[in-house]
Amino acid sequence: MCNFDELKKRALTIEIGMQNAGLGSVLALKHFSEKTALPAVVFVFVCIFTASILTQVWGRK
């Protein structure tokens, strides 16, 4: 759609996912209880873990 090269697409994939996870946890903490925010906070760590795996896989190609 924007004709980005492969490296920019990969960087945006990771960056947008991390921002969404972080924003979700902040909004959940602000508007709901800590128990309600727990899934969003866990998702932040899942994003960090999967992003590190993706960078390793993409680095080999």
* pLDDT tens column, 43-54: 888 888 988 898
pLDDT at 1: 65
Q: Which two tokens stand for residue 18?
A: 């991390």
| pLDDT beneath 50: ranges in the chain | none
Q: Any idea where the domains of the chain sit in the sequence?
A: 9-60
Asked if 25 contacts 41 with a C-beta cutoff of 8 angstroms, the reply is: yes
This prediction has a pTM of 0.65
Asked if 24 contacts 40 with a C-beta cutoff of 8 angstroms, the reply is: yes
Distance CA 32, CA 15 (A): 25
Residue 54 CA from chain centroid, whole number: 12
